[in-house]
Structure 1
């Protein structure tokens, strides 16, 4: 493994300006999205996307709106950003002297920002926190700095329901910190480094278990005491996963944040996961010790194997239904092909129904109709269309929103104010108790 210095001539498009405190997340297999940061004494709000396949930088034209009418988030740095599927979620950060606690999502299929309103145990505004995705639905966030104190709280966000949950943990725990990294490795969250509550920069490594519901583990921290020379204490570093490697790079050490006495690191500590298959290393290093930790996990029989492997994927099945027997189509979707196509056109043109780069709008609509018409579960739709639960849930939610918006245009009661109850309902005891409650609720 060796470094190759990149030159501006190696890339096409407009390159982002130099900056710090930004985030860069890998979305899908071919996009890296850079957002925000700090440069020239100002906080940034721009987005640059690197197309890995074509070696081109570009700036997408984003749409959207927030609670105060802006298109997207306010300028910021030192926030968190996590990618799940085609979505980039951001939280917190700092803008000027203000710590932020707002929550946004960018849909990179249509480049649209949405300000999200979460509920539950809402985290306080903060900067310099660290976060990582748990599978394809949840995000875990740890620590940070709220302007007065260093934090050690742990929050889990369900990106489908938008519910925040603060994780309660007993026993030993890492000291409060900010500027650390938090990385999911299999079913453990690894937290390394950062600046502590008393000001020192730390080099300790902790593992958090109990984040996967299916495992039925009690949440708990374990400090990993690893053999061999470990990375020097640091904060502001990064950890990146690439192929078989987990790389710790850079950061700075003694002296505090951006003081004249800082030591900036240019080293790279590598975990080669292929070492799991061979322990013939000449000397045990910090990276090799983590490999042993992972080896013990793999030996527990928990190697993940992809289950969505059917070649008869959703769009092929939809094609078969559209061009097959009309009675079969009607039995599955409870409507004829012409009616479904008219509905698809109406939702697409007037009610913001969108597909994605990998899924046509027709399949997005049929996923929802399949669930509703057959009274099927998300798991059955996952198997039928060969998509993840997060993808099925997201498409289902999008179509429901479009269908709700179309009802305003189509469903027009004779008495919109519901000032009186129709005689047929008022005189029938089967309907009156239920419809009366519904009418009163909407009034």
Structure 2
């Protein structure tokens, strides 16, 4: 049947084909097509066999053709400090690493970072960059996405404006606060949400406010007019959540997992897979074939590489971190699009 075209396949299963330690809260990005590898991950919380977690800054690259990860050997002596809950965006031959959180070792809350680093993907050299214009604020648990050479940075402070990092000049990028408009109100303040670029729009979904219940609202920001619009997509909206893994493929936004607070049970991890069709503005829940896919988790990453989605890592809250890699071929999604139900069968 056509619905059997979507399924998860686990790859890089041997110990010598995966990163040394499980991790969550890392960043991931697709590498340029000219590169010999496909995905890069960096930083996050790594967890040892005794369940001790600490922040890292090492990087690994995945070759889909070889089905294995290998460590990146940086060529520069200077580099960023350890961090998680940061953002990384690839524009051209550079990865831009933005702020995040260094939790430290003294249980004092650590440091919320306010720095910008550029990684040359040809020489693997780090360089700290001070942008012209605005300063990078102290931020973590935020989102960043590129449209062309402009990186839009959405933080818990992004109510009347949004940060825009223009990296068209990689040696002298500029950071500005761009006013936004909305009617009647902008999206409420939040973190651990998702922000996904499709065409000239940025789609914001869900997240956790500083106080109150988690969110499940959906918004779009027009990058030309800088106007927010709240969206009411057809079909049953996904459950409220934060820290979901998200990637765009064409006009579709693919989403996996995350977590939410379940009564007195603390953070409840999820492994549901769903799609926002931004052309028809519909929520879709494709049936998946094959065996078991990723276990429930949050703080994983989902990266689109051509017609493939690559999921790596994540955290079952206060239980374990993961070191697994799953791949889904979504080239057949158009053939089953109309077969994907508009209502999830998931029971919460």
TM-score (norm 1): 0.55
Please name the residue that 1:134 is paired with. 147
Higher relative contact order (CA 8 A, sep 6+): 2
**Gap runs ≥5 in structure 1:** 66-70, 145-149, 289-443
1:345-384 to structure 2, matched below 5 A, reads none
CA RMSD of aligned residues (A): 2.5
Please name the residue that 1:155 is paired with. 163
Q: Structure 1's 164 and 265: CA in aligned 2 closer, same or farther, altered over 3 A?
A: same
Q: Indicate conservation of the 8 Å contact 1:27/1:87, yes or no.
A: no
Q: Indicate conservation of the 8 Å contact 1:240/1:248, yes or no.
A: yes
Q: Indicate conservation of the 8 Å contact 2:93/2:121, yes or no.
A: yes
**In structure 2, C-alpha distance between the alignment counterparts of 1:38 and 1:151, rounded to whole Å:** 26
Could you tell me how far 1:285 is from its partner in structure 2?
4.7
Please name the residue that 1:25 is paired with. 29
**In structure 2, C-alpha distance between the alignment counterparts of 1:52 and 1:59, rounded to whole Å:** 15
Please name the residue that 1:68 is paired with. none
- Indicate which of 164, 176, 179 corresponds to 1:168: 179
Could you tell me how far 1:268 is from its partner in structure 2?
0.7
1:171-250 to structure 2, matched below 5 A, reads 171=182, 172-209=185-222, 211-212=223-224, 217=225, 219-242=226-249, 245-250=252-257
- Which whole-Å deviations, capped at 9, do the CAs of 1:87-111 have from their partners, x for residues lacking one? 1111111002210011001111111
Please name the residue that 2:101 is paired with. 94
How many residue pairs are counted as aligned between the two chains?
A: 261
Q: Structure 1's 193 and 178: CA in aligned 2 closer, same or farther, altered over 3 A?
A: same
Q: Structure 1's 175 and 243: CA in aligned 2 closer, same or farther, altered over 3 A?
A: closer
**Does 1:122 find its partner at 2:142?**
no
Please name the residue that 1:51 is paired with. 63
- Which whole-Å deviations, capped at 9, do the CAs of 1:25-75 have from their partners, x for residues lacking one? 10113421110001232111111111223323111210225xxxxx21100
The SS at the match of 1:198 is coil
Please name the residue that 2:272 is paired with. 267
Please name the residue that 1:85 is paired with. 92
TM-score (norm 2): 0.69
Q: Structure 1's 222 and 285: CA in aligned 2 closer, same or farther, altered over 3 A?
A: closer
**In structure 2, C-alpha distance between the alignment counterparts of 1:285 and 1:186, rounded to whole Å:** 17
- Which whole-Å deviations, capped at 9, do the CAs of 1:231-272 have from their partners, x for residues lacking one? 11111002112467421111111259xx95112111011246
- Which whole-Å deviations, capped at 9, do the CAs of 1:321-345 have from their partners, x for residues lacking one? xxxxxxxxxxxxxxxxxxxxxxxxx
Please name the residue that 1:286 is paired with. 283
**In structure 2, C-alpha distance between the alignment counterparts of 1:170 and 1:6, rounded to whole Å:** 43
**In structure 2, C-alpha distance between the alignment counterparts of 1:177 and 1:270, rounded to whole Å:** 22
**More strand, by proportion:** 2
* Larger Cα-atom Rg: 1
**Gap runs ≥5 in structure 2:** 47-51, 104-109, 286-348
**More helix, by proportion:** 1
Q: Indicate conservation of the 8 Å contact 2:43/2:58, yes or no.
A: yes
